[in-house]
Structure 1
Amino acid sequence: MLRVIKKGSTKEEIQKTLAGFTKKKKGFQASNFSGIIDLDESPMEIQKKLRDEWK
């Protein structure tokens, strides 16, 4: 995207123009899924069982 800032623009005009360049967050937003899974056991117990499978 290209934005043109002309010579002699006021500070407010420049800030309005630059406000159009917002960064979008990349990556996985885990907060969207918090509280969705209902577990019967504690996560530590599940982890211990999964690690014991390799023995």
Structure 2
Amino acid sequence: KLALFCAACPQPGINLPDNWKEDTNCVLYHWSFIADGNFKANHLAPRNVEDDMHL
């Protein structure tokens, strides 16, 4: 429920033919899950180390 609908992804009852399970070219109906792995904590890096005041 949290994922966005992808119009290009195979959706039974929406954009797949009725006989998609019997099709010999089953490669056409595989799902791929792709995630963005850019998980950097850039907001934690100091911008100006010279301006950093030690307490």
TM-score w.r.t. the length of structure 2 is 0.30
- Relative contact order, higher structure (CA 8 A, sep 6+): 2
Q: Which has the higher helix share?
A: 1
Q: Which structure has the larger Rg? A: 1
